[in-house]
Amino acid sequence: MTRWQLYVRLVRLHRPIGILLLWWPTAWALLIASDGWPAWYPLFAFTLGTVLMRSAGCAINDYADRDFDRHVERTRDRPLTSGRIRAWEAVVVFVVLSLLSALLVLPFNRLTWVLAIAGAFLAASYPFTKRFLAIPQAYLGIAFGFGIPMSFAAIQGELPPVSWVLLMANVCWAIAYDTEYAMVDRDDDLRIGIRTAAITFGRYDVAAVMTCYLLTLSLLGYAGRLAGMGVLFWLGLGAAGLVAVHHYRLIRTRSRDGCFKAFNHNNWFGFAVFAGMFAHYLARDL
């Protein structure tokens, strides 16, 4: 591989599912905060910021896990773990991408700047929580959902109750999909001492994932009521519920392939919710 190809793999641009899981909650917030039609710059800034911060998070994650990843079948060939990229390079990539992302929020208000600093801290610290938190996926949900309060701050200049409900929904969703992801590596994680929700939930892992999906849908429904959503939104939420049912079919046997497919399929869960919201605003304003 060329040097640039190694960097692309370091920040996982060849696997966009992480960008999508970060983008959908931000897109939900942008729609609601702008009453359906975000201005061009917030849409541009938060879209590019999502790509930059997810990429930065991958770089710092590989730096933090460099001594663990070589013992995990799925991650042992990552550029940093395999020695093709040095540890200091990953840190530099994280810093550069974070600074580029910070430039995007300069036109916004002070509240957005404060939240951006907090978001950068969450992204940098998340990889280390796997050493001591029983369910680090909850911390991931806050980090991955921080585009929600930032969107409301940038557009409305405040954080209304619906923003916190959406953030709580994203925390539950992140626990669901990242537990599916952790179920793939459970045997390796047990051996090397990493803490994950899949290990904490134990034999109740499937039930816990489905409970988190139910909580996610319930909180999204409450957010929809606060935002005055109509029937098209509820149809989108119903479609997301069907996606969650499909995931149960994939993970109930706890096979590696099934759990990994379910994790990747969460893009359609996020899209279904977004489609319902967008259809509501589009139908209302036609």
Exposure letters 195-217 (e unless 16+ CB within 10 A, then b): bbbbbbbeeebbebbbebbebbb
Q: Which residue has the tokens 């079948």?
A: 73
Spatial distance between the Cα atoms of 137 and 143, rounded to a whole number of angstroms: 10
Name the token pair of 278.
Answer: 């967008």
Q: Which residue has the higher pLDDT, 192 or 254?
A: 254
List, for residues 72-112, the tens digit of each pLDDT value: 777 778 888 888 889 899 999 999 999 999 999 999 999 99
- DSSP secondary structure string, 171-203? HHHHHHHHHHHHHHSHHHHHHHT---HHHHHGG
Under 8 Å between Cβ of 184 and 72: no
Distances (CA, A) of 131 to 15, 190, 193, 218, 261: 25, 12, 8, 31, 26
**What is the pTM (predicted TM-score) of this model?**
0.93
193 Ramachandran zone, left/alpha/beta (phi>0; psi -120 to 50): left
Which among 109, 116, 221, 222 has a CA at the least distance from the CA of 158? 109
The band of 1, judged by pLDDT with boundaries at 50, 70 and 90, is: low
Binning pLDDT at 50, 70 and 90, where does residue 64 land? confident
Other beta carbons within 10 Å of 129: 19
pLDDT at 76: 77
Task: Give CA–CA dist 232/273, Å, rounded.
Answer: 10
- Fill in the amino acid letter for 100: L
For 160, phi and psi rounded to 5 degrees? -70, 165
pLDDT tens readout for residues 127-138: 888 778 889 889
The full set of domains in the chain, from first to last, is 3-285 (1.10.357.140)
pLDDT of residue 149: 97
